[in-house]
Structures are given as structure tokens and as C-alpha cells.
Amino acid sequence: MRHILTLIADRQSTSLSAAMIRRVGEAINGGDPTILSEGEAADIPIEDAPDAIALQEALDNAPVDWIVTKTRGRRKGLLVADMDSTIVTSETLDELAAYAGVQAEITAITKLSMNGELDFSEALRRRVAMLRGLSLDALQQTWDKTELMPGAKELIATMRKHNALTALVSGGFTFFTGKVAELVGFDRHHANVLIDDGQALTGEVGEPILDRDAKKAALLRMAEERGLKLAATLAVGDGANDLAMLAVAGLGVAYHAKPIVAREARARIDHGNLRALLFAQGYPDSAFVTA
């Protein structure tokens, strides 16, 4: 068959039972399933894209994600990932703002930007300006409280083992992407630069700003560098500034995304963690690398 439907359950809330897999298979005229992770993920071969309504009825609104991919070329040679609320659980700029006493104001601007209601570059300049005079110690204090998204290390270690290039491309800041890249194992990281005077932030950000167009350009550049067709690329993110790269990637995944992103992306993960991106490429859990 030409396509694969991958089911991924949120193991914190439910289990992907044999009965559930059977119901889905019958509803979409699927072939024999392959279990990728017992109770968590399964592949079902299908000929054409499934009827979403019939699929959801078969799942009975359980917290189970589903992604459709072509049978051929499922494993990708390039991964480009957003950082905030994707590879880490927080918005690092919003957390940094708490030390300047302006978290509520900055969080409100972040929300507008991530929902596509405010130009990203404008929003970033406004937020960084509000941090003028903030001691550089606050950057380390913010980092000390930053947590990785479940499955992040497995995702990167497994793809790198299979010779994929992995890049963290963020509208955030190099102070954090450098640390995340080192901790998780990304090959590369790209982000914006906070300007300081050696003791405190100046309220400025380096130009040009890494925005949605720059994220897309980074994916295109790295794919060309590796000699990869776009079909062999994977992108993941949650905000409006990720939409351009999600649109051009062979597999663009909206991860626990803002409404505008969830609506426009071709694939989405609403319930599971980052392990889902490996299952969507056909990796069984026995092939996962635990970093």
C-alpha cells in the first residue's frame, strides 16, 4: 500500500489496545498492523488518506495521535527543530522576564506572536527592550530551571545514529540553544543573539533577527548541503514562526501547537511526546537510542 497510518498513544493517559488498533484498521480499510511499541504505537498500511471523522470515531476520542506518511522514504536525513515549547517545556524568554519583573507583559506579547497575531521580529524587539539592565546572572538562573521535553534525547540520539543531521533552529537566543544543543546532542544550533555590556543586557538583539523566513531558509540550506530532497526532511515546532519551515519539510509536525499552527500543519502531535516523531518515521522502540 502507498501510505502508512501511525497511531501514537499518550501513555500517561491511555494505552493503545489491540481492540483499538483493530477498530481503526476496519474503519480505514487498513492492512495488517505492525506494533512499534506495545500499548504505545502501531503502523497500519493504507492505500489513501483516511477519513478523519471515521478515524476519530474509531479512536473514540482517546488521547491518541495519528500521522499519515508515504510508505517509501519514511526515515528522514535532516531534522530541524524549534526549541521553546518543543525541545524544552518552557518559553525561555518568558521565564527570563520573571527576573526583570515583567513576565506578565512579555508573556502576553509572546502569546500574540506565537498565535500569528503580531509580527515575530517586532514582538522580539519589544520584549528584549523590556529586559534592559537585567543582570547576566538571570540567564544562568533561567537555564537552571529549564526542562527538556520528554523524548528529546531519544529523538536526537536515534536520528543521529542513523546518519541524520539534527539542527536546533530557534527564534530564541544562542545562550539557551547552545546549552540545549550540547545537552540533547544536536549537531548544530542557530538562534538570535542577546546583546550585553559584559554585566547586563542592553535591551537589544542582534540583527538580522532569526524569524520564520530564516527558519525556512535554514532548512532549505541544510537540505541542499546534504544533497537531500525536501521529502527527506523533518521539521517540528509549535508557533506561527514555525509554519514556513513546517510547510516545506517532507514531514512538518505541529507539536502541541498553537491553534493557527495546528490548523495549517499537515501533521500534528497533540497528546504524545517527542518519541512520536520516531514512530512516524517507522522506528520501533527497540531501535531507539537512550542517551
Q: Active-site positions? A: 82, 84
Enter the DSSP assignment of 197: -
Residue among 74, 82, 80 nearest 231 (CA):
74
- Coil, strand or helix: which one is 53? helix
Residue burial 245-259, b: 16+ Cβ < 10 Å; e: rest: bbebbbbbbbbbbbe
**How far out from the chain centre does Cα 89 lie?**
11
Residue among 281, 183, 173, 285 nearest 236 (CA):
281
Q: Give the Cβ contact number of residue 183 at 10 Å.
A: 17
Distance CA 221, CA 224 (A): 5
